[in-house]
Structure 1
Amino acid sequence: MLTKKQLDLLEFIHKRVQRDGVPPSFDEMKAALDLRSKSGIHRLITGLEERGFIRRLAHRARAIEVVRLPESLGGEPTTGFSPRVIQGDKPSGARPANTNSVTASAVDLPMMGRIAAGVPIEAISHVENQVAVPSQMLSSSGDHYALEVRGDSMIDAGINDGDVVVIRETAAADDGDIVVALVEDHEATLKRFFRRSGAIALEAANPAYETRVLPEHKVKVQGKLVGLIRTY
C-alpha cells in the first residue's frame, strides 16, 4: 500500500517516462510534489523501490524503471488487505441516535471517539456521535462501530491521520489482520496483529515505528478493520 505522496510520485514518473522516454530529474520531482528538499524525494523513491513499484539501475543517469503500477493507476490487482475507502465531507454535527438504522443504503454507526495509529492512547468506551456508512462496506454478521484515526503509523496500509475506520466487533484475529487492540485493559491502538510463540506482536505500517511484542494475556482484540472513510 502506498502513501498519497508515493502514489503521486509514481504517477508523475510513469507519465514522464511515457511522454519523454526517460524519467524526470530529482529537481523536477521535487517541484512536481511541492517538496522543499531532495531528501524527501529520496525517501519516496526508496519506499517505492522497497515495495517493488520501481527499480533503480546502477551507473545510469535518471536510471529509474517503473516495474508495476497499483490498481488506481491501471496496474494489475495485488493480494492482501486494501481498505475500501469512501470519500466525502466531514459530518457537521451529531447524527440521530438511531444506531444501525438503514436509510438509502447507509447505516448509522456509533462514532466511539479516537484511536491511535501510533503510540496507544486511553481506551475508548463512549459514543461521541453517529457516522453514516454504506451498507455494502459492512460484514453480513456482527456489530460495527467507527473510530477516528490519530497518528501516522498505519500510512503504508493506506490509513491516514484523520481517517475514520470502520470496525467489526470481534475478539478473534488472524495473523496480518488490522485490529483494534486493547493493551493492558487501558490503551487502545490500531495495528497489524501477529502471534509469536505465546506473545502478540502489534506491528505498525510505517518503518518509523517499532513493533510492540506483548504477552498474550495483555492484548485483547476489540475488532477488525473492514473499511475506512476519508474526509476533506
Structure 2
Amino acid sequence: MGRTPTGQTREQVFQLMRERLLAGQPPTVREVQEAFGFRSVQTARAHLEALVSEGRLEKQSGRARGYRLADAAVLLSGADRIAPPRLVPLLGRVAAGAFGLAVEDLEGYLPVQSDRVGANEELFGLRVRGESMRDAGILPGDIVIVWRLPSVEDGAIVVALVGEEATIKRLRRRGDRIELHPANPDYEVMTPDPDALQVLGRVIEVRRYLD
C-alpha cells in the first residue's frame, strides 16, 4: 500500500481533533499517535504544530490536552458557521440551601457553547446540592455554568461566597444591604454581612444529566 500524502494525513488529523474537541474530549498527542499508528509521538506533534501554524488549531502551553479549535468560525455546512465550544473547569460543588464549604476540586472540563460572553471572560462549572433553588429549575445534581464576575445586576442568580462558604441564590439589593433569596418557600432569605460577602459570578446555564 502506498504511503498517504502528508497533506491528506494532516487533514485526517485535523478531522479527528475537530470531532474530539467538539465532543469535549480533547486528545493528547500520544492518543493522536496511536490513532494513526505513527511510529513516534514526534510525528503526531509535528502534524499538530503544523495545524497551529495554519491557524486551524490553537495550543495552550503547559497542558497535555492543550489543543483547541481556533477562534475562527468552524465550518458546519454551507455558509452555516458557529464558534467552537470552550472547555471550562468543573470545580467541586455549591450549596443550593444552607451555606456549604467552598471547595474548588477540579473534577474535569465541560464543553460550553456560549456567545453571551467574550473569549477572554472566565467561565466555570459547579455541581449543585440542596433544593433551595428548586422553583428556579435548579435541582440537586445539576451543573451550573458560572460567568465569573465581581458584581452582578439585581435579580441575577449568583454563586456567592461568605467567608469560606458558598451558596447559590438570587441576589437582591435593598439599599446598602444585599439579600440572597431562595426559590423555595421552605428556605429563608439570607442577609450576610456585606463586608464578608463576595460574589463569585452569575449563573448563565443549568445542565441536567438523566440516568
How far does the alpha carbon of each residue in 1:41-88 deviate from its partner, in whole angstroms, 9 at most, with x for none? Answer: xxxxxxxxxxxxxxxxxxxxxxxxxxxxxxxxxxxxxxxxxxxxxxxx
Q: Distance in 2 between matches of 1:229 and 1:95?
A: 24
Structure-1 residue corresponding to 2:205: 227
- Residue of structure 2 in register with 1:50 after alignment: none
1:131 to 99, 104, 110: 110
2:190 counterpart (206, 212, 216): 212
- Give the SS at the match of 1:156: helix
Question: How far does residue 133 in structure 1 lie from its aligned partner after superposition?
Answer: 1.9
- Greater RCO structure (CA 8 Å; 6+ sep): 1
1:224 alignment partner AA: R
> Quick one: percent identity of the two aligned structures?
35
Q: What CA distance in whole angstroms lies between the structure 2 residues aligned with 1:116 and 1:200?
A: 18
C-alpha distance in structure 1 between counterparts of 2:66 and 2:99, whole Å: 27
> After the TM superposition, which residues 111-130 of structure 1 pair with which residues of structure 2 at under 5 Å, given as runs?
111-130=90-109
Going from structure 1 to structure 2, the CA distance change for 1:126 and 1:195 (only over 3 Å counts) comes to same
CA separation in 2, counterparts of 1:95 and 1:187?
Answer: 35
Partner of 1:231: helix, strand, or coil? coil
Say if 2:26 and 2:67, in contact at 8 Å, map to a contact too.
no
Letter in 2 for 1:188: A
Is the Cα contact below 8 Å between 1:170 and 1:222 reproduced in 2?
Answer: yes
Query: Do 1:95 and 1:131's aligned partners in 2 also have CA atoms closer than 8 Å?
Result: no
Q: Provide the C-alpha distance between the structure 2 equivalents of 1:221 and 1:100, rounded to a whole number of angstroms.
A: 31
Matches within 5 A, 1:1-232: 98=65, 101-102=68-69, 105-136=84-115, 138-140=116-118, 142-183=121-162, 185-232=163-210
The residue identity in structure 1 corresponding to 2:204 is V
For residues 114 and 102 of structure 1, the distance between their equivalents in structure 2, rounded to whole angstroms, comes to 29
Q: 1:218 to 1:94 in 2, by over 3 A?
A: farther
Q: What is the root-mean-square deviation in Å for CA atoms of aligned residues?
A: 2.7
**Number of residue pairs the alignment of both structures matches:** 139
Q: Kindly tell me: are residues 95 and 193 of structure 1, through their superposed partners in 2, closer, same or farther at Cα, counting changes over 3 Å?
A: farther
Runs in 1 of length 4+ with deviation above 4 angstroms?
A: 93-100
Equivalent residue letter for 1:207: P
Tell me, which stretches of 5 or more residues in structure 1 are unaligned?
A: 1-90
Measured against aligned partners, the alpha-carbon deviations of 1:74-124 in whole angstroms (never above 9, x if no partner) come to xxxxxxxxxxxxxxxxx9x99986579458732211001111111111112
Change over 3 Å in CA distance of 1:101–1:187 after alignment to 2: farther
